[in-house]
Amino acid sequence: MARYFGTDGIRKKVGTPPITPLGMTRLGEALWAWLTATVEGTPHIAIGWDTRASSGWIMHALTAPMRAHGARIDLLGEASTPELARYTRTSEAMLGIMITASHNPATDNGVKLFDGAGFKLPGDAQTWIESLMGELTDSAFIPGDPYQVNLVEWGEPDLAPYGLEAGTLEGLHIVLDAAHGGGAPRAGAVLKAFGATVTSIGVEPNGVNINDGLGATHTDTLAAKVVELGAYAGLALDGDADRGIMVDETGAEVDGDQLIALLATVMQEEGRLTGGGVVATVMSNLGLERYLSERGLTLQRTGVGDKLVVEAMRAGGYNLGGEQSGHIVLLDHTTTGDGLLAGLHALAIAKADGRKFSEISRVFEPVPQKLVNVSFEGESPMRTEAVQDAMLAVANRLGADGRVLVRESGTEPLIRIMVEALDTDALKAGLDELEAAVRSALA
């Protein structure tokens, strides 16, 4: 079982191993050892970080061994995860490192790792790196040539990676919520470069306010601002901007499932959708699956995490996939979830359509779905017989008209309980039964 790597890289509370100076230095040594064993030439590494106060010292601790060994390191500064992934690929770096805890609060931080093609490292590579973290010691340090550090200068937005024409969003007033995160420095400029009128919130990071009441997991403020200003729509990014959740002109939330459905519909109509469908996770709504099926498209489900989504997309020849939470992957344009990219393409569709955003973004009727999170310490209650029996009982009662998913979070010490069902009474009863079973197992 992995000690440090979870669903999406490493993510822990700051001060909890390995998010400590020693832990990050050990990770830097492990990454150097992994790189020198798997690539030829002087390792070239790209590294970016979000706006957390801890990101600075993590960058220094993580890169210190690599610098000492003679790596070439490009520092992107405060950036989004999609920007880091794109830069890694286009700069021919061998490894991309993003320091972020994504949508988690400012007290957490972590590391996401990308290969030279801009894709997240597979599980076997992470397992190897983690094993090296335990084996390496200070005595294994071998000085190298003087290090090279290049601070990347960001100029005017490059619109080419987004696959849209300049002026595409002319006439649209968009409210952007950058969550005081990695998208804050440049996301608004990109929207403006495509012609949108932009009102921005969440663009004043101070090191501790990332994701604090704003962003893709807290859209109330964005919704209120969109309604107040009479804007066409709003786009909320998370801390590292690989998620994007939208709101329409009424303030209603448009989640990742609806965005996937919208994009799939248009891409299918234009003959641009590959793989015969899309890839999404076990969290995506049953309504999305039924809608796609009516259009002759498949929905391939994976475990939670856009890394797993991308792996399935690449294996199956799909170019669209994502998560209900707002990770949307347009593989023709990027290699990872990109909230800004997905938002731009959704808005481009809306502008060409000409109707209100509320009229085109409600693509399918979701099956009622409820989520409950239960925190835990120590051994997971998922391993108890009572919880397993409750899951089976509820699933059997719902049958084909519902779904049950109970899982451990890969990023936080939580049990996530999801139930969806056409019968809302059955949904509530099933959710209550499962929550009670989990809490009883923790007592």
Is-catalytic flag, 102?
yes
Count of all residues that appear for the chain in the document = 443
Among residues 384, 392, 405, 390, the alpha carbon closest in space to that of 436 is found at 390
Residue 167 CA to its chain's centroid (Å): 28
The first and second tokens of residue 17, run together, are: 């191993």
DSSP H/E element including 99 = strand 95-99
β-pairing, 108-115 vs 9-13, is antiparallel
329 touches 341 (CB < 8 A): no
46 forms bridges with which residues in the sheet? Answer: 74, 96
Residue identified by tokens 């309604």 is: 227
Cβ burial 194-213 (10 Å sphere, 16+ → b, else e): bbbbbbbbbbebeeebbbee
What are the residues whose beta carbons fall under 8 Å from the beta carbon of 229, sequence distance 6 or more? Answer: 173, 175, 199
Which of 55, 80, 102, 200 is catalytic? The answer is 102
Task: Say if strands 108-115 and 95-99 run parallel, antiparallel, or are unpaired.
Answer: antiparallel
Question: Are the C-beta atoms of 92 and 115 separated by less than 8 Å?
Answer: no
Among residues 115, 120, 190, which one has the least CA distance to residue 410? Answer: 120
Handedness of CA 46, 50, 55, 58 (dihedral sign): negative
**Helix intervals (H) in 177-273:** 187-193, 220-229, 256-269
Token pair for 315: 């294996």
What are the residue numbers of the active site?
A: 102
